[in-house]
Structure formats: C-alpha cells, structure tokens
Amino acid sequence: MKKIAIILSLVLLVSAMLVGCQNKEQTTGDTAASDTTADSANNIIGTWTLTGAESDGQSMDSDMIEATYGEMKMEFKADGVVTTSSVSGSLDAEYVETENSVSISVGGIEAMVFTKSSSELIYEDESRGEKLIFTK
C-alpha cells in the first residue's frame, strides 16, 4: 500500500513539475494525414479518470485513490491536446494515438505511454510491478 502511495505521489509531482513546461506550438501537416489522425483519435476523445492503481500485488480502487489523493483526470481533445488535472493543478500536453497505445509528451519529450482499449488506458512499468488504470 505504501508503494502505491509513493507512485501516486510521484504522478502528482511530475504533473506539478510539468505545468511550466507546456509547448504551445502546433505542427501542420497535409489534410489527409490530419483527417486520419482525427478519425483514429475519436476513441480517445473525452475525459478519463484514474480508477485503479497496482504495485507489487497491492491495489487501490477509485474510492481509495480519491479519498487519499483527490480526483485525477485526463481530458483528451480532438486537436491533439490532453489536459491532466489533479489536486496539484492542471497541465496541457500533447498526445499521439496509435491503434493500441497513447503517448503523452510535454515540450516534445515523451512522458508516458499508455496501452489502450475501448474502456481503459493503462500505464504499466513491468520492471517495478506498477500500473495505473484510467477509465472513460
């Protein structure tokens, strides 16, 4: 349980640190590429809430997370921007969606890669036995 608390604290800390590192530049591409990106991103568009966390076989559900750390959300927008929010503040970052994953970066530096399904985004660090689960 203590390890999960540390993981979630680190997520909050990273979010707070990255607030000042936002990159407002937008890249332009041809219309066909933009249309393809917009079509594939329709799955991800919307608000996702942290509903579970695991570490070394121990887990926290959404009620425990919210009671301990407050609500943590990510709002994906059609323009390729994701806004993360938690008790430490909010952060706008960029995201790129592929068929099976979502990569979030700040200022061109990749911060997190999530595996995606229709109802979950999962960040997993197998080497540490840690997992964060967001649901829509």
Dump pLDDT digits (tens) for 24-78: 343 334 433 444 444 444 589 999 999 999 988 889 999 998 998 899 999 999 9
- Whether residue 3 is predicted with pLDDT greater than 50 in this model: the reply is no
CATH assignment at residue 98: 2.40.128
Residue 95 is assigned to a structural domain of this protein: yes
Whether residue 26 contacts residue 52, with contact meaning beta carbons closer than 8 Å, is answered with: no
Of 90, 107, 82, the closest CA to residue 21 belongs to 107
pLDDT of residue 105: 93
For residue 87, CA distances in Å to 39, 65, 127 come to: 32, 12, 28
CA torsion through residues 45, 50, 52, 53, sign: positive
Residue 24 is assigned to a structural domain of this protein: no
pLDDT of residue 57: 83
- Whether residue 15 is predicted with pLDDT greater than 80 in this model: the reply is no
Mean pLDDT of the chain: 77
Domain membership of residue 36 as a residue range: 2-19+30-135
Local structure of residue 66 (DSSP, 8 states): H
Number of structural domains found in the chain: 1
pLDDT of residue 100: 92
